[in-house]
Structure 1
Amino acid sequence: MAGEVVVTVRLVRSFEHRNFRPIVIRAVDLDQTVDEFISRVKTDVATRDSLPPPFRNFGYDTMKIIHQAHGFKTNELVMSLEDDDTLILPPASTLAAAGVANETEMAFFSGKDYGLYKANPHAVWHC
């Protein structure tokens, strides 16, 4: 068993509007698959009273590593658009094999929305 760790999951509702909320997930088993972890996070998010309904009911389906403990952080406010081939977590992989470790920060978002944003990365700012 690779062990249980604590990770932060950044729930991304909108890349253009920079709309996200971080949540902490404790006792994460690194031997579970990414799909199993996604199911756990979806259940957790749907029942968290501290999150507004738009975050609880969103169509999250993709996870990407944003930051590892003691590593460098991106200058992007939401997440980096680089290195998708190594940082997006493959569904059938275990979390450990995908590179998740204690204090890893990940983004959880709609893969379709990410693809659209990546093709035309612009922010919408409201004053």
Structure 2
Amino acid sequence: MDAEAVVSVRLVRSFEHRNFKPVVFHGVRLEQTVHEFMELVRGDIATKQGLPPPFRKYAYDTMKIIHQAHGAKTNELVMSLDDDEKLILQDDQTLRAAGVANETEVAFFREEDYRLYRENPKTAW
């Protein structure tokens, strides 16, 4: 198995307004913990050119697998509300143990925003 992967991270700023930006990370070590990867992503987006300031400074704290290479995609525009217990990544797991592989797409969001959206999954424009 490859030790490094390409992982797409969807920065979710608002579920209701479908406000998100994808950022691709190359050379991601799958043996690092989810917590370490979140720190790496936070550090990278804080200085990333072309990313609007609201995305750079947001308090992201949770990751969830949206899509894996060669798997079915969800019809949800931001991310699926299904299978949280299986797809939300646990801080102390390695990325590989959490199910992240090459070309996996994960959402990075604030858990509180997601919980509120799950309770009332309406979108606004």
TM-score category of the 2 structures, normalised to the smaller one: over 0.9
Q: 3-state DSSP class of the match of 1:43?
A: helix
Q: 3-state DSSP class of the match of 1:116?
A: helix
- The equivalent of 2:76 in structure 1 is 76
TM-score normalised to structure 1 length: 0.97
Q: Which string of whole-angstrom CA distances, capped at 9 and with x for unpartnered residues, describes residues 9-54 of structure 1? A: 0000000000000000011000000000000000001010110100
Q: 3-state DSSP class of the match of 1:73?
A: coil
Is the Cα–Cα contact under 8 Å of residues 5 and 26 in structure 1 kept in the other structure?
yes
Cα distance in 1, alignment partners of residues 28 and 50 from structure 2: 20
- Asked if 1:123 is matched to 2:111, the reply is no
Is the Cα–Cα contact under 8 Å of residues 2 and 96 in structure 1 kept in the other structure?
no
Q: 3-state DSSP class of the match of 2:73?
A: coil
Cα distance in 1, alignment partners of residues 47 and 6 from structure 2: 19
Counterpart residue identity of residue 89, structure 1 = L
- The equivalent of 1:14 in structure 2 is 14
- The equivalent of 2:24 in structure 1 is 24
Compute the displacement of 1:93 (Å).
Answer: 0.3
Q: Report the aligned-residue RMSD.
A: 0.9
Cα distance in 2, alignment partners of residues 10 and 53 from structure 1: 16
Q: Which runs of 5+ in 2 are unaligned?
A: none
Q: Which runs of 5+ in 1 are unaligned?
A: none
Cα distance in 2, alignment partners of residues 2 and 49 from structure 1: 29
Q: Which string of whole-angstrom CA distances, capped at 9 and with x for unpartnered residues, describes residues 59-79 of structure 1? A: 100000000000000000000
Counterpart residue identity of residue 99, structure 1 = G
TM-score normalised to structure 2 length: 0.98
Counterpart residue identity of residue 86, structure 2 = T
- The equivalent of 2:38 in structure 1 is 38
Q: Percent same amino acid among aligned pairs?
A: 66
Runs of 4+ aligned residues of structure 1 deviating over 2 Å after TM superposition are none
Cα distance in 2, alignment partners of residues 23 and 2 from structure 1: 21
